[in-house]
Amino acid sequence: MGVSDHRDSKAVAIAGGGIGGLAAVLALAIKGFRVIVLEQAHEFGELGAGIQLAPNAWSALDALGVGELVKRDAVFIERLLMMDGISGERIIDIPLDERFRKRYRNPYAVTHRADIHRALLDACIARSSLVELRTHSKVTRFDLEHDGVEVTLDDRASIHAAALIGADGWRSAVREQIVGDGDPPASGHMCYRAVLSVDDMPADLRWPAATLWAAPNTHIVHYPLRGWKLFNLVATVVRDQAGLGHNEEALPGEVLPLFAKNCETALNLLRVPTKFRRWMLRFREPVANWSEGPVTLLGDSAHLMLQYFAQGAAMAMEDAVCLASAADACDGHFAEAFQRYQGMRLVRASRVQISSRMLGLLYHAADVSRLVRNDIYRGRSAERYYDALDWIFTAPDYVRDFGGAKSSQRRVDS
């Protein structure tokens, strides 16, 4: 389809320059649309440290043309492990070997969130003829116009755009106008994060795996980063907490008592950091509508989820590719395109939201429920795990077919 007047007129405005927002920028630019990114911070950047990337996330990165670049600094782990945090027993063991990579056309790996963000940002900068990047630009509201949308910023300046995409996170001003459900409540799931040098990581836990220690109301995750120079550590506890959890510093004296029921191996790991960063997780129930005319939502703004499936960034990048495909198919008629996009994404993203919450209950099982969980999963074959994961790890057709993208599958030892 040739480039039309709809593509040549006003730009698309995107609120938010995180991973999801930049993925949408890049996807739309690939399809020939002009885009203005409105980032409220004084510079583009990404909070957080490690991130797990399942095959569907790599498929989205491949579609956006940055998969090989991100893989340069990724660690290709060999297994997904769940240990019983009380007994220390290995319960779940999912191999990520050649069988896995052939089945899903891409690997499973871990990397630093900043590496993904930088790759997407550089790719956007390289398309400067179509992409305008603005900082200090917080979107506060929108008003529909006959030929697009007026976007108002916090300094009262306004932009007239062909469409608006709210990728402005869990406190999305765009969502508030469309859905009107206020800030998401605190989930009670508090994360304590730290990054360790490999020399500080206990030698008996330097595993080539993403490992989770599951215990009643707590779990601990660790995996290597940055070419095995670092280890990411996240310890999560479920309890009633209010007014905390936005990247504050937390000391071991706060953290260790919360995990006291864990086995000594897991506790030895938590004794290593001299400080943690505290984050309260938030969660939204799925909603039936993300869009209003030429305005829609993407990523956390649309479907904020708990982290237990490690799919938040993957869902945002799938959103971005799907949205750009729909805009291309509708030749820039954005109200129609956003309904198509929402129809293609709503059930899949909502299923991940719900499944992530349910997986948290599984990890945090106590008493007899914990014993039943262990009995169900102990000794399960790789094929049974793969069968159960097909729905989420297999990239949707609109991702695999985006721009004729080809998988950049690479062997772990290459």
pLDDT in tens, 277-328: 998 888 899 999 999 999 999 999 999 999 999 999 999 999 999 999 999 9
Q: Pick from 332, 247, 317: which is nearest to 106 by CA?
A: 317
Q: Which residue has the tokens 């469309």?
A: 178
5-184+284-404 classified as CATH 3.50.50.60: yes
Q: Please check whether residue 213 is in contact with residue 219, taking contact to mean a CB–CB distance below 8 angstroms.
A: yes
Q: Please check whether residue 367 is in contact with residue 221, taking contact to mean a CB–CB distance below 8 angstroms.
A: no
Can you tell me whether residue 73 is helix, strand or coil? coil
Bridge partners, residue 50, by sequence: 112
pLDDT in tens, 176-207: 999 999 998 878 899 999 999 999 999 999 99
Whole-number pLDDT of residue 240: 76
Q: Pick from 96, 109, 100, 120: which is nearest to 51 by CA?
A: 109
The torsion angles phi and psi of 264, rounded to 5 degrees, stand at -65, -35
* Global confidence as pTM: 0.94
Indicate the angle between helix axes 19-30 and 113-125, nearest 10 degrees: 30
> Whole-angstrom Cα distance, residue 336 to residue 316?
20
Q: Please check whether residue 225 is in contact with residue 243, taking contact to mean a CB–CB distance below 8 angstroms.
A: no
Characterise 213 by phi-psi region: left (phi > 0), alpha (psi -120 to 50), beta (else).
beta
> Whole-angstrom Cα distance, residue 179 to residue 176?
5
> Taking the domains of the chain in order of start, what are their residue ranges?
5-184+284-404
The torsion angles phi and psi of 10, rounded to 5 degrees, stand at -70, 155
Other residues' Cβ atoms within 10 Å of the Cβ of residue 397: 10
Q: Please check whether residue 172 is in contact with residue 15, taking contact to mean a CB–CB distance below 8 angstroms.
A: yes
pLDDT in tens, 352-366: 999 999 999 999 999
* Residues whose CB falls within 8 Å of the CB of residue 178, separated by 6 or more in sequence, listed in order: 166, 289, 290, 291, 292, 295, 297
> Whole-angstrom Cα distance, residue 235 to residue 255?
9
